[in-house]
């Protein structure tokens, strides 16, 4: 067992790697009522294409999300009921690059933790269950397709990363879901649900030694002969960005817009990459948060309203920002926003006071999150042999000075390409 001390915050993270390579991270929180955990697998929607040895494997889009759903189905029961009977909430989600299974409870902590580890590492695939799941996910996809904001987001991603697996919806399509077979699921599971490709993060009023013991006793996954290799980073990097404008029509009252900002600069990984992500996100806040001068100017000009939102996504191999919302005249709003975006690099060096205020606000937000078990779990990341916690992120924010902030963010804006999506009634 190793200890990572965060002395400034009086916290200690305990880690241990099982003989099979599975990593466990435990952050004890004495006196806290809730126990939260996430079991993470480095396998996401982008991995519908991967290498297995010297073979290129191509599976139907949406298989990672389908597999996430299938793991809840066991022989004669749904594992969600076991958690409910033991007083726990369980959930799961699939992103572009990972699948996470989460659990939260105030009772029976070790028992629920054992169930979490056991059900993720004990797949049960049958033709009947797979057929039933196809119907459920088909309905889910139909709901997404009826959601104009979801379609706006998905189409913007497709415009930025066409001809890559990033252009596929995380859930896949109705057509791709029907193609998934039991053998596809088994191959995806054995290729990526491997101990060395997974980890567990737990926080709450738990003893680290007991957590390690419970996990070790309930980890059931067998090790396959061949390891699935991620290839999406190379395929995305190889393709040039495409700038375009797409207009869709949906049964809506207000028109909607999205601006996709594809990053084409090279981003380092690990701690440097995390610092980059924090810096670019802060730059977006300085212009588009509700307290930002630019946002308020656009708001009072009736170019933006309360529906406006933005995000920045940074993963190994790709990074992008999206601005989206409602607008009476989307083209006028897009023109105004693009004018702001193209001037960010010129204006940032003159915004030292705004930066310092934003930094203080961000530090305050992180200090508040330290009292939330769910927030602590959700902020944990483990990728590319690098792990980061909420405390690591806060340390980076504290260290970030204005000069470095400007220098770090400039390449994103200098090299970015843009795409626009509009949804009209």
3-class DSSP string for the chain: CEEEEEHHHCEEEEEEECCCCCEEEEEECCCCCCEEEEEEECCCHHHHEEEECCEEEECCCCHHHHHHHHCCEECCEEHHHHHHHCCEEEEEEECCCCEEEEEEECCCHHHHHHHHHHHHCCCCCCHHHHHHHHHHHHHHHHHHHCCHHHHHHHHHHHHHCCCCHHHCCCCCCHHHHHCCCHHHHHHHHHHHCCHHHEEEEEEECCCHHHHHHHHHHHCCCCCCCCCEEECHHHHHHHCCCCCCEEEEECCCCCCEEEEEEECCCCCCCHHHHHHHHHHHHHHHHHHHCCCCHHHHHHHHCCCCCCCCEEEEEEECCEEEEEEEEECCCHHHHHHHHHHHHHHHHHHHHHCHHHHHHHHHHHHHHHHHHCCCHHHHHHHCEEECCEEECHHHHHHHHHHCCHHHHHHHHHHHHHHCEEEEEEEEC
92: which residues sit within 8 A by CB, 6+ positions away? 68, 69, 71, 72, 99, 100, 101, 102
Q: What six digits make up the tokens of 91? A: 């959930």
Buried b (16+ CB within 10 A) or exposed e, 310-321: bebebbbbbbbb
Neighbour order of strands in the sheet with 2-6: 2-6, 11-17, 23-28, 198-204, 35-41, 99-105, 88-94
Q: Which active-site residues does the annotation give?
A: 68
Give dist(CA 185, CA 134) in Å, integer.
13
């Amino acid at each position: 067992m190793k200890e990572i001390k965060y002395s400034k915050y009086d916290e200690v993270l305990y880690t241990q790697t099982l003989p099979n390579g599975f990593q466990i991270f435990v952050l004890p929180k004495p006196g806290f009522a809730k126990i939260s955990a996430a079991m993470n697998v480095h396998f996401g929607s982008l991995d519908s294409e991967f290498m297995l040895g010297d073979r290129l494997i191509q599976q139907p889009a949406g298989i990672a999300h389908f597999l996430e759903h299938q793991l809840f189905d066991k022989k004669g029961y749904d594992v969600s009921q076991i958690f409910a009977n033991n007083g726990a909430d369980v959930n799961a989600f699939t992103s572009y690059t990972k699948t996470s299974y989460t659990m939260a409870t105030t009772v029976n902590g070790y028992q629920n933790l054992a169930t979490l580890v056991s059900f993720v590492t004990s797949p049960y695939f049958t033709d009947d269950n797979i057929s039933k799941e196809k119907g459920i996910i088909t309905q889910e996809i139909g709901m997404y397709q009826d959601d104009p904001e979801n379609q706006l987001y998905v189409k913007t991603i497709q415009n930025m990363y066409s001809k890559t697996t990033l252009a596929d919806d995380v859930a896949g399509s109705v057509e791709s879901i029907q193609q998934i077979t039991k053998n596809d699921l088994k191959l995806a599971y054995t290729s990526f649900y491997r101990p060395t490709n997974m980890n567990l993060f737990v926080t709450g009023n738990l003893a680290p030694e007991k957590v390690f013991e419970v996990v070790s006793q309930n980890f059931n996954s067998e090790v396959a002969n061949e390891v699935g290799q991620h290839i999406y980073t190379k395929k995305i990097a190889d393709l040039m960005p495409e700038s375009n404008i797409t207009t869709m029509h949906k049964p809506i009252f207000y028109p909607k817009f999205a601006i996709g900002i594809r990053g084409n600069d090279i981003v380092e990984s690990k701690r440097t990459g995390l610092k980059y992500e924090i810096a670019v996100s802060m730059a977006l806040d300085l212009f588009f948060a509700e307290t930002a001068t630019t946002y308020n100017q656009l708001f009072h000009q009736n170019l933006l309203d309360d529906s406006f939102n933005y995000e920045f996504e940074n993963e190994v191999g790709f990074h992008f920002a999206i601005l989206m919302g409602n607008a009476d005249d989307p083209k006028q709003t897009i023109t105004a926003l693009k004018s702001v975006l193209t001037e960010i690099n010129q204006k940032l060096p003159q915004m030292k006071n705004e930066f310092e205020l934003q930094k203080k606000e961000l530090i305050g937000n992180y200090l508040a999150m330290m009292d939330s078990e769910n927030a602590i779990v959700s902020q944990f990341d483990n990728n590319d042999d690098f792990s980061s916690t909420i405390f690591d992120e806060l340390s980076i924010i504290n260290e970030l000075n204005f000069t470095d902030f400007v220098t770090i963010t400039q390449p994103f804006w200098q090299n970015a390409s843009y795409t626009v999506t509009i949804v009209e009634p």
